[in-house]
Structure 1
Amino acid sequence: MSMDAVRRPAAADRFYPGGTAELGSMVDTMLAEAPAPAFDGELLGAVVPHAGYPYSGASAARVYRALRGRDIDTVAILGTAHFGKAPKLILAPQDAFQTPFGDVPVDAAVRDALAKAGDCVAVSAELHEREHSVETQLPFLQRVLPKARILPIITNLSDEAAAAAAGAALAGVLKGRKALILVASDLSHRPSAEDARRVDLATLESLQALDPGFFLRTCAVLMELGVPELHCAWCGEGAMAAGLHAMLAGGADRAQLLHYTNSGLVLEDPDEAVGYGTMLFLRTGTPATGGALRYPPEERKALLALARSSAEAYIMRRETLWPRLSENPRFNMPAGVFVTWWEGGGVGKELRGCIGVMSPDQTVRNGVAEYAVRSTQDDPRFAPVRAEELAGLAAEVSVLSPMRRSDAAGVRPGMGVELRLGARRGVFLPQVWERFPEKEEFMAMLANHKAGLPPGAWKDPAAEIRVFETESFCEA
């Protein structure tokens, strides 16, 4: 397939030193100083930054330290396409990529197989010519996996369906090989260093749910907040979503954050930053249990205080306290949220209003702020709450964890469950277990009464099951 047999360096002397000795000294020092990460299970892939080495090299080295000496033949690198439209996986036609350390061979057999995978793949030497996102990974790879071949890919696809198709195609050609997937992505671009931290730790934590759609939704919700100078929430979200789909197809069941920093912290410049994060994706055989959202007492207290202050601001001054970016990155993840107000001192006394939403259409912080107000004003069962009533009411906040994939065996009492089969869909909240405590009956009722399917449809191999938890807490 090669046009010119070797793709020449485009990032040398810009993103990393162009001299062999200087580059070797920098890479070797970063690898030596990087802590050896501890993790359980088989390493299937990772997120690494693609910025200049003075900014993100020390962070990237943590991943490459984990790769040193591993039995890997092919490294698929999914980078961001910065210099043109790339709504597909874009392959390079060359048979090697050159760095100051020498040539890195392309796995031509895998590349050619992927090129035939369908409409989600294309080949372009031009789009790869100036691109740095793949190239910045190569000197590290040459040090830690000197015999490995690469599969260089760039993309900026933008929707989940395209990411799913691309991920399936990539997983298909890597199946049965000693392969690893690297997603070469930076994080947020150009907000203040503090806002970058708030945004980046939210997107990184969203990946813990191992759901590409939830990750993309997190990025979209954060971009809707109007954060000053935020150009993107993740530089290469399409590559990340496609790579995650491929890793899930390979059995990934755990994501582990290694390190986070941003250029504002590195350069001590608080006014503008680009975020950098590293994360491992593992196959452990024991998927993480429980939702990604588990709030310690101080965070519960903060969300309850937000609910009350939001209701007070609206009822007393007609002021709304949303949308805003939270100082706590965990509150900047999207989630379904319900806010309930109780008379008589707490949960289970006398209901005064309850409104919320199951879909993760806004951040936890903004969902609590909005539905704290709407539940006092818009619940059709009650008259609007008056200012003099508010002090006598207790607020309860309920947050839904991100839905995550499961199978029938993974469904347990206390979980909320979504069942999909064909065009049919049904959801039961966790409290439905109080009515149907036996799993067989619970799932049969979900299939038949909520999804309009035969009672045994949940056992169909084609059925899609997602589970979630609801975490609720109330003012004393």
Structure 2
Amino acid sequence: MHKMKRTSTHRFFVYLLFFSIFVLSDAFAQIRHPAVAGQFYPSDPEQLSDLVNTYLEHAGKPQVEGKPIAFVVPHAGYPFSGQTAAHVYKVLYSQNVRTVILVGTGHHLGGKDAAIYPEGAFQTPLGQVKIDSAAAFALTKKYSFFKANLKAHEKEHSLETQLPFLQKVLRDFKIVPILVGDTDLKHVLEMGRALAEAAKENNASGKPTVIIASTDLSHYPKREDAVRVDMETLRAMHRLDVQASWETDEKLMNEQIPQLACTMCGAKAAMIVLSAAKVLGANHTTVLKYANSAGVPFGDPNQVVGYGAVVFSDRAASSDHSFQETADKALQLPEAHQALADNPTFSAQEQKALLQIARETIETGVQTGEPAGGNLEERKGEKTALFVTLMKKGELRGCMGSPVPVLPLGQAVRRYAFDAANRDPRFPRVKADEISQLDIEISILSPLEAVKNAEAIQPRRHGVLLSYHGHSGLFLPQVWDDIPDKVNFLSALAYQKAGAPAFAWKEPDAELYVFTVEKFKESDF
């Protein structure tokens, strides 16, 4: 009896020992927990999965020549840059990739050394992503500028935002998370060569590896400046020349462009990855997508952040594509808007006459503060729904009109031209010294047509009017140029114009109407 009792006790302590080892090993495992879940992206696993799937679906089929080696991806909140990032991850969909070397900017990291998270895993709402500890420790042992530094990663979002996408497109993969600070060109080139060697070793050992740089583009200039800066940055990157990218960054920063804080918040990360890609044989660059924060709901065109999706690949010799060709595709440059019935209703002479009426009205209104009465003929004829839009140096300066026909054509042009210059609540009155800088555009609207849901809305062709619980708002078709994604377009319409919840357009009691326009502006002539 005593012997049996001792045996049972012995077994109990053996089980307790193994249980303790299991619990303690789990407790001391290096798990990096999410820092921006619920802020930059949904913290709910189902919502996050659905959102990433939607972005990937909308990214379409990427056109990349040759074997992808490395990538540049943005890292802002998903409502701002998620769709752009998806264009890169669609390239990786179901690829045989076992290790992803992630290089991001350390927003909280100082010094020239890079911070590696060497072992354990990164947690996301979709599960854990394990570290390729063999590759990570090898880098810290071989190169003095790679340091194991867990603390630098605690609050950093630049790598974390990439993981849910990777979890959706890859299987059985690991990561090497690296953050870089404000290092110099010498270290950029050395780090690039080091990562290239690490990728080669992994590839040779049966662990296919790609390298991803996490960076946004220009920070905080006005939209037109952001586009110019970002195009120069991407053009330099397209040349696969680290020195050219470095010099372009310095040149743009020395231009003292208003509000420009940086050309890329992860400039060093991007250049390190570009350097690695060159060593690994990259000979071609594809700009898959370009966007900026002015083109999403709640975006401010006066304070913009740019986003680019770029692939460096190794391709066989073939006809080269210029940067402008790939950039044009990435920008999704709009074709001419279709007119009311794909044929103009007004002759060029009539268009000029209507634009002249609008300009004369604005000039008179600035002097008198009252709209001009017009002549008797202008008060006759069929009533017309139209809007008058004022642009100044490529920026909206005023837009007023009516989606339903209230006034005869000539009188409507005068009324809404005056209102655009003096009564648009978003802008101060147009001053006399601004008139010469205005480009006046008139949009003649077709009759409104009710549609059952958003599926019937055709991007770039349709303007949309939303009515919801006593609130209403309208976007002309021209707005698609700034907000090409349908979900973002309708959400901005609901929130910004109708003063309703962003997704009110999805509600069953929301009323949606579409229309087309015939538009013409002074700069056309």
Quickly name the TM-score band, shorter chain normalised.
0.5 to 0.7
- Map of 1:214 onto structure 2: 244
Q: Which amino acid aligns with 1:199?
A: V
Deviations, residues 21-63 of structure 1 (Å, cap 9, x unaligned) = 1111111111111111112210101110011000000000011
- Map of 2:305 onto structure 1: 274
Which one of 128, 131, 143 corresponds to residue 106 of structure 1? 131
Deviations, residues 434-460 of structure 1 (Å, cap 9, x unaligned) = xxxxxxxxxxxxxxxxxxxxxxxxxxx
- Map of 1:59 onto structure 2: 84
- Map of 2:200 onto structure 1: 175
Query: Which residues of structure 1 form unaligned runs of 5+?
Result: 295-326, 329-476
Query: Which residues of structure 2 form unaligned runs of 5+?
Result: 1-25, 326-392, 395-525
Question: TM-score with structure 2 length normalisation?
Answer: 0.54
Percent identity of equivalent pairs: 38
**Against the structure 1 CA distance between its residues 98 and 220, is the aligned structure 2 distance closer, same or farther, given a 3 Å change threshold?**
same
Question: Residues 458-473 of structure 1: matches in 2 within 5 Å?
Answer: none
Which one of 36, 39, 46 corresponds to residue 21 of structure 1? 46
- Provide the aligned C-alpha RMSD in A: 2.1
Deviations, residues 406-435 of structure 1 (Å, cap 9, x unaligned) = xxxxxxxxxxxxxxxxxxxxxxxxxxxxxx
- Structure 2 residue 309 is the aligned partner of structure 1 residue 284: no
Which one of 155, 171, 175 corresponds to residue 180 of structure 2? 155
Please say which of residues 101-110 and 263-272 is displaced more in the overlay: 263-272
Which one of 46, 51, 65 corresponds to residue 40 of structure 1? 65
Deviations, residues 251-301 of structure 1 (Å, cap 9, x unaligned) = 00011101111111223521101110001100013287699699xxxxxxx
Give the count of matched residue pairs.
295
Conservation of the 8 A alpha-carbon contact between 2:118 and 2:137: no
Larger Rg, first or second structure (1 or 2):
2
- Structure 2 residue 290 is the aligned partner of structure 1 residue 265: no
Question: Residues 53-452 of structure 1: matches in 2 within 5 Å?
Answer: 53-176=78-201, 177=203, 178-267=208-297, 268-286=299-317
Conservation of the 8 A alpha-carbon contact between 1:167 and 1:243: yes
Conservation of the 8 A alpha-carbon contact between 1:107 and 1:149: yes
Shift, 1:17, TM fit? 0.5
Conservation of the 8 A alpha-carbon contact between 1:156 and 1:237: no
Q: Which amino acid aligns with 2:301?
A: P
After TM superposition, the runs of 4+ consecutive aligned structure 1 residues lying more than 3 A away are 287-294
Shift, 1:209, TM fit? 1.0
Measure the CA separation in 1 of the matches of 2:229 and 2:219: 10
Conservation of the 8 A alpha-carbon contact between 2:112 and 2:184: no
**Against the structure 1 CA distance between its residues 86 and 150, is the aligned structure 2 distance closer, same or farther, given a 3 Å change threshold?**
farther
**Against the structure 1 CA distance between its residues 287 and 183, is the aligned structure 2 distance closer, same or farther, given a 3 Å change threshold?**
farther
Measure the CA separation in 2 of the matches of 1:174 and 1:108: 14
Q: Residue 60 of structure 1: SS of its match in structure 2?
A: helix
**Against the structure 1 CA distance between its residues 291 and 58, is the aligned structure 2 distance closer, same or farther, given a 3 Å change threshold?**
closer
- Structure 2 residue 80 is the aligned partner of structure 1 residue 50: no
Shift, 1:208, TM fit? 1.2
Measure the CA separation in 2 of the matches of 1:31 and 1:117: 37
Q: Residue 197 of structure 1: SS of its match in structure 2?
A: helix
Measure the CA separation in 2 of the matches of 1:139 and 1:35: 19
Deviations, residues 355-388 of structure 1 (Å, cap 9, x unaligned) = xxxxxxxxxxxxxxxxxxxxxxxxxxxxxxxxxx
Question: TM-score with structure 1 length normalisation?
Answer: 0.59
Greater helix percent: which structure?
Answer: 2
